[in-house]
């Protein structure tokens, strides 16, 4: 999270200056736009004092800590403890200075008359937009403690889903890095020895394959190569960031990601799971469909899905149903026909929340199946790569020896 300073003009014409933490500048723009403010300037605050630097949370607040905070708040509210007193208790038991400061800020905001959801939204770092809207819905309906439990369950479901994906990727990643390490050792240490042996026997010219690895090893061994590699990576990252600044380019990248073999299908199923799960929760909480779709569109990580949901929301404001709006805006058939048909059934029966919850479970089961079989799907590819590299290295090492011994 970075700190941003902004100057904006409110709808009443007042000039407002403030600071807010966010992951990107775009989040600040979205926040100020939702507040009906006209933006004048937004600047990232790069001046970080030593004291603040020591309190920076690497990777943000742990998920387990946020789940615990949500459950503790729910328990205290159920027991009849006032919200402001509950926040004071959480502040006192916080171990990290950075978390204590956040609770102090939340306490001041609530003390000034703002609801809990607004306080969490202003401070940031605790809950996502979806979760904050669930808390706001709980405040309106008088079921804040139940909503806080739902928020905790939502975070745990998200954690479990990510855990399954990471777990499935561990084996291929380990194989990949071990392979790189073995090849690097052979190129840097074994191939030069083969070269020296070959030349000591009176031969002047290495076989092409061996010579290629010798040149590669010498190039890798140069200090300048490291700087070139770092510079190249930095340039690629910069170009990628620059390219994806525009919304249409983000959508192009999102389409490409969905076409990647194996992983594209997995990414699509994850987006469908998140769409169904989040929309079901928001509708159950009593949030209007138009507002719920706006929240979901911001929560989806794939820009193509986000754009389809956002455009569908705009069509619904003009009187269209969700199923028809999705069918109209369904770019490259990102949303399967079966899901659109099920949404239409939910709209006709008035049980949209139930249908979306069932579809979320259906797609979650598909994600589990894909992640469970991911290692099996990748094994043939891994074997081909490993086999090819082993054969190539064997030829490069033994071909000079065979030549010297006049085997050929």
In the chain, where the domains are located:
2-47, 63-156, 160-408
**What does the pLDDT read at residue 96?**
81
Give CA–CA dist 391/408, Å, rounded. 18
Helix (H) or strand (E) run with residue 15 in it: strand 15-22
Give CA–CA dist 271/258, Å, rounded. 10
Give CA–CA dist 259/252, Å, rounded. 11
pLDDT tens-digit map of 242-282: 888 888 888 888 888 888 887 888 889 989 998 998 898 88
Mean pLDDT to the nearest integer, 117-123: 86
Higher pLDDT, 290 or 32: 290
Say which DSSP state 332 is in.
G
Give CA–CA dist 368/373, Å, rounded. 9
φ, ψ (nearest 5 deg) of residue 4? -125, 140
Q: What angle do CA 305, 311, 313 make, to 5 degrees?
A: 100
Give CA–CA dist 47/5, Å, rounded. 11
**What does the pLDDT read at residue 236?**
93
- Cα 103 from chain centroid? 26
**C-alpha dihedral, 70 to 110 to 99 to 85, nearest 10°:** -70
Closest CA to 293 of 323, 270, 333: 323
For the cut 50, the answer to whether the pLDDT of residue 407 exceeds it is no
- In this structure, are residues 164 and 371 in contact, taking their beta carbons and an 8 Å threshold? yes
For the cut 90, the answer to whether the pLDDT of residue 342 exceeds it is yes
User: Tokens representing 146?
Assistant: 């139940």
- Does 160-408 match 63-156 at the fold level? yes
**What does the pLDDT read at residue 312?**
92
For the cut 80, the answer to whether the pLDDT of residue 49 exceeds it is no
Q: How many other C-beta atoms are found inside a 10 Å radius of the C-beta of residue 206?
A: 21
Higher pLDDT, 60 or 72: 72
For the cut 80, the answer to whether the pLDDT of residue 118 exceeds it is yes
**What does the pLDDT read at residue 56?**
41
Average pLDDT over the chain, rounded to whole? 82
38-44/15-22 β-pairing: unpaired
Say which DSSP state 188 is in.
I
Q: 63-156 sits in which CATH class?
A: mainly alpha
Mean pLDDT to the nearest integer, 342-364: 91
Q: Tell me the whole-structure pTM to 2 decimals.
A: 0.68
Highest mean pLDDT among 6-20, 336-350, 365-379: 336-350
pLDDT tens-digit map of 147-177: 888 888 878 877 787 777 777 778 778 888 8
Give CA–CA dist 344/368, Å, rounded. 26
DSSP 310-321: HHHHHHHHTT--
Give CA–CA dist 22/26, Å, rounded. 9
Give CA–CA dist 37/43, Å, rounded. 16
Distances, alpha carbon 64 to alpha carbons 39, 71, 188, 260, 397, in Å:
36, 11, 44, 32, 51
SS3 at position 12? coil
Q: Which CATH architecture has domain 160-408?
A: Up-down Bundle (1.20)
Higher pLDDT, 154 or 46: 154
Give the confidence band of 359 by pLDDT, cuts at 50, 70, 90. very high
């Amino acid at each position: 999270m970075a700190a941003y300073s902004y100057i904006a003009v409110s709808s009443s014409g007042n000039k407002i200056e403030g600071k807010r933490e966010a992951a990107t500048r775009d989040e600040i723009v979205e926040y100020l736009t939702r507040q009906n403010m006209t933006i004048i300037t937004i600047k990232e605050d790069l001046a970080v004092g030593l004291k603040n630097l020591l309190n920076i949370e690497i990777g943000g607040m742990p998920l387990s800590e946020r789940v615990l905070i949500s459950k503790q708040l729910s328990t205290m509210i159920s027991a009849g403890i006032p919200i402001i007193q509950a926040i004071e208790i959480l502040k006192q038991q916080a171990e990290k200075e950075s978390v204590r400061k956040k609770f102090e800020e939340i306490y001041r905001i609530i003390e000034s008359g703002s609801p809990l959801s607004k306080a969490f939204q202003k401070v940031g770092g605790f809950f996502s937009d979806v979760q904050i809207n669930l808390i706001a819905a709980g405040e309106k309906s008088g079921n804040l403690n139940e909503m806080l439990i739902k928020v905790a369950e939502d975070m745990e479901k998200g954690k479990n889903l990510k855990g399954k994906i990471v777990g499935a990727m561990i084996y291929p990643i380990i194989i990949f890095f071990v392979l790189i390490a073995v090849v690097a050792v052979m190129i840097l240490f074994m191939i030069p020895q083969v070269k020296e042996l070959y030349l000591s026997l009176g031969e002047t010219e290495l076989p092409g394959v061996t010579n290629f690895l010798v040149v590669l090893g010498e190039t890798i061994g140069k200090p300048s190569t490291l700087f070139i590699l770092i510079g190249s990576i930095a340039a690629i990252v910069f170009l990628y960031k620059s390219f994806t600044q525009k919304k249409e380019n983000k959508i192009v990248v999102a389409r490409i990601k969905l076409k990647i073999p194996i992983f594209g299908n997995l990414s699509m199923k994850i987006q469908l799971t998140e769409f169904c799960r989040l929309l079901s929760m928001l509708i159950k909480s009593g949030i209007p469909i138009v507002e719920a779709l706006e929240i979901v569109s911001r929560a989806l990580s794939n820009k193509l899905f986000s754009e389809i949901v956002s455009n569908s929301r705009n069509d619904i404001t003009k009187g269209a149903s969700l199923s028809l709006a999705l069918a109209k805006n369904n770019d490259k058939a990102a949303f399967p026909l079966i899901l659109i048909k099920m949404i239409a059934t939910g709209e006709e029966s008035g049980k949209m929340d139930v249908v979306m919850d069932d579809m979320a479970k259906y797609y979650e089961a598909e994600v589990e199946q894909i992640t469970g079989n991911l290692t099996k799907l990748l094994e043939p590819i891994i074997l081909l790569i490993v086999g090819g590299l082993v054969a190539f290295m064997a030829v490069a090492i033994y071909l000079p020896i065979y030549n010297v011994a006049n085997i050929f």
